[in-house]
Amino acid sequence: MVVLQMATRRTMSSILNRSLGLLGGRSAVLASGIQTFGTAAALEEPITPPVQVNYTKLLINGQFVDSASGKTFPTLDPRTGEVIAHVSEGDAEDINRAVSAARKAFDEGPWPKMTGYARSRILNRFADLVEEHNDELAALETWDNGKPYEQSAQSEIPTFCRLFRYYAGWADKIHGLVVPADSSHHVQVLHEPIGVAGQIIPWNFPLLMFAWKVGPALACGNTIVLKTAEQTPLTALYAAKLLHEAGLPDGVLNVISGYGPTAGAALASHMDVDKLAFTGSTETGKIVLELAAKSNLKPVTLELGGKSPMIIFDDADVDKAVELAHFALFFNQGQCCCAGSRTFVHEQVYDEFVEKAKARALRRVVGDPFKKGVEQGPQIDDEQFNKVMRYIRSGVGSGATLVSGGDRIGNKGYYIQPTIFSNVKDEMEIAKDEIFGPVQSILKFKDIDEVIRRANASHYGLAAGVFTSNIDKANTLTRALRAGTIWINCFDVFDAAIPFGGYKMSGHGREKGIDSLKNYLQIKAVVTPLKNPAWL
C-alpha cells in the first residue's frame, strides 16, 4: 500500500512537502534566519504586501457601487490587527438590489439562454485571467486571511483555476434523459438551471469557497448573489472583476460584503432567491436553514463543522504518521472544517508518537505569512484567537497534559503557538468541540472496535483519516466510519472531481464533483402523447 500520497499535482507539491516536514531539521530552519514558534518570529516588522487594494465596493449588476446606507466596515490584517481597507457594508436593501439584478439577468438576460459551450468559454477565459493575476490574488488572500503566501500562490490559486476549468468542462455536458413509459407517451426528463442562487462563503478559504460555490452554479446557467465573510471580502471582489472581464454578463454574479445578521439573514430569507448554499459553522447553519424554511422553503446546501478523527494504528511508520497527523491538524493554522483534530493513536506506539509529535510542533515555523518558509501565520481575528486560547485553558483545566505550546506569540497580531495535548479523554471539550485552531488532541485506543465506536461518537461526520499498512483494517474503517470523506494514508487530498460534504451535523449535500451540479439544477418531467408510434 502506498503509505503517503499527499497530492498528485506539481502545483501543490512544494507546499505539501513543507507541510510533511521535508524542510530539514531544526538547525536548517534556524540557519535560514526564520525563527521557530518559541521565539519572537511574529515580533518582526511586518512585510509590506506586494499588492494594492482596488476593489472595496459592492458589485451589483456589473458595477461597483456604494452600499445604500453609505456605511463601510474595516477589514483587518491578522498579522497586526490594523486596518487594510474600509469596505462597503451591505445590508437588506443591498441584498434586495442584488437579487433584483440577478433575477432580471436570469429571466431576461443571455446567461441561461447561452449554449453550454459559450458558458464554458467564459469560465475557461476567467481561469486564464486568474492565472495571469496569480500573484496579486495570492497576496490579497494572505493579507486579508493570514495564511502563508506560498500556500496561496502555489497551491490555492492553481486549485481555484482547476476548479473553474473542471466546471467549464461540465457546462456543455449537462443533459436530461428520454425514459420509456408503460404507455404511448414520449417522456423527457429535463435538467434546468434552478434560478437565482444565494451563496454565503466563509473566511478560512475565501477563494476556494468562491470556486466551490460559483463554479457549479454558473456552469448550470444560474445567476448568483454571493455574500462574503466580513473578515475576508477582498479577493472575491477582485475575482468577480476578472470574471466580468472574461465576458460574464452584468447581473449574473453580484457580490455583497457585509455581516451575517444583516446581509446574510436577508439573503437566506429572501423570497426571490431560489436556492441557498452556505459554508460555515454548524450553529450558523441551523439559523440559515431556519430562515430558508420560514421564507419560501428554498433548498439549502450546508457544508458545516467537523471534529474529524485521525486514526494511527500500531503497524504504521510512526515518523510518517506524525508528519501526516501534524499536517492534518495544523494546516491553514488549524482553521479547516475537516482538520484531523482528534488524533487517535494505538496504545503500543502512543508514547513514541507523542514525543515525536512534540518535536515536530517545536520545529513548526510560525511568523509573517509573507516570509518565505513560514508554515503558520496568525489566526483570522481576535474573536477566533480568544476562542482558541479559551479551549487551550479548558484543556489544561480538564486534566489533559500540555505537551507543547499553549500560549500566544508576541503581543501584536493573532499568532498562537502550535499546541499539543496528550492524555485527552473523550468527554473533554477539546475532544468534542470544533476548536478551529492549532491545537492537537492526542487520544489513546486499544483495538479497532473501540476506535470505531469512539470515532463515531460525535455530532459531526465531515471527514476522517486512517493510517495503517494493513489493507483489511483500512477497508473495515472506510465502511465503518460515519463521515463524508475517508482518507487512507493521506489527508486533505482535494480534487475537483471528488465530492465533499458531511454526515450528521456536518451538513447536507455535496460540494465539488458531479454531485455539486445537482445542487443547482431543477428536474422537470415532460410527457407528450404518441399517436401510432412505430416503437415504444
Listing DSSP states for 441-475 in one string gives EEEEE-SHHHHHHHHH-SSEESEEEEE-S-HHHHH
Q: For residue 432, give the C-alpha cell.
A: 468534542
Q: For residue 41, give the C-alpha cell.
A: 518570529
Cβ(526)–Cβ(536) below 8 Å: no
Angle between helices 206-219 and 157-170 (to 10 degrees): 10
Cβ(327)–Cβ(20) below 8 Å: yes
Cβ(351)–Cβ(460) below 8 Å: no
User: Rounded distance, CA 509 to CA 506, Å?
Assistant: 10
Listing DSSP states for 396-449 in one string gives HHTT-EEEE--SBSSSSS--B--EEEES--TTSHHHHS---SSEEEEEEE-SHH
Cβ(207)–Cβ(239) below 8 Å: yes
- Only one residue has cell 439549502, namely 300
User: Rounded distance, CA 285 to CA 337, Å?
Assistant: 13
Active site residue 427: no
Cβ(90)–Cβ(260) below 8 Å: no
- Only one residue has cell 503500543, namely 348
User: Rounded distance, CA 228 to CA 384, Å?
Assistant: 17
User: Which amino acid belongs to residue 259?
Assistant: Y
From 89, 141, 156, 303, active-site residue: 303
Q: What is the dihedral of CA 161, 166, 168, 172, to 10 degrees?
A: 180
| Nearest by Cα to 222 from 250, 201, 197, 244 | 197
Q: What does the radius of gyration of the chain's CA atoms come to, in whole angstroms? A: 24
User: Rounded distance, CA 54 to CA 452, Å?
Assistant: 51
- Only one residue has cell 483570522, namely 380
Cβ(253)–Cβ(247) below 8 Å: no
Cβ(350)–Cβ(34) below 8 Å: no
Cβ(415)–Cβ(42) below 8 Å: yes
User: Which amino acid belongs to residue 333?
Assistant: Q
Q: How many CB atoms lie within 10 A of CB 347?
A: 11
108 DSSP 8-state letter: T
**Active-site residue set:** 303
